Structures are given as C-alpha cells and as structure tokens.
C-alpha cells in the first residue's frame, strides 16, 4: 500500500514539473514579457475555441441546418 502511494506521488510530481516547464517566467516589472505572454495565451485560447466550434458545427444534423 505504501509503495503505491509513493509511486503516485512521484508520478504526480513528474507531471506537474513537465507542465510548468513550458510556462514563460516574466520578472515583476517586465511589461514587454508579460504583454507577449498574454498575447500568446490569448491566441492559443482563440485557436482552441475555433477548433471546438468547427467540431460543434459538424455535429449539427442536416435537418436542423435547413430550417
């Protein structure tokens, strides 16, 4: 039982460290870095939303499109 807990903790730490590795770290008063980070996050969010909406439109049955 203890081995399972240890393995789960190690796996959780590995996953969280790999996720934070892609994160851009900006200094406190670095406005240029913070602006660039905000713009990049916004672009990624919009791309994801566009892909989701395309999938959603494809799922609409043909009889509803004609109305």
Domain holding 39, by residue range, is 2-66
The answer to pTM > 0.75 is no
- What is the count of structural domains for the chain? 1
What token pair was written down for 11? 């796996």
pLDDT, one tens digit per residue, over 10-62 is: 777 666 554 444 666 788 888 999 999 899 999 999 999 888 888 888 888 76
Say how far apart CA 42 and CA 37 lie, in whole Å: 9
* C-alpha–C-alpha distance, residues 6 and 16, integer Å: 16
């Amino acid at each position: 039982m203890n081995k399972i807990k240890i393995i789960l903790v190690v796996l959780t730490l590995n996953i969280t460290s790999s996720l934070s590795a892609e994160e851009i770290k900006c200094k406190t008063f670095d406005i240029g870095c913070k602006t660039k980070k905000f713009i990049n996050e916004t672009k990624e969010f919009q791309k994801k939303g566009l892909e989701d909406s395309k999938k959603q439109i494809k799922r609409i049955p043909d009889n509803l499109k004609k109305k």
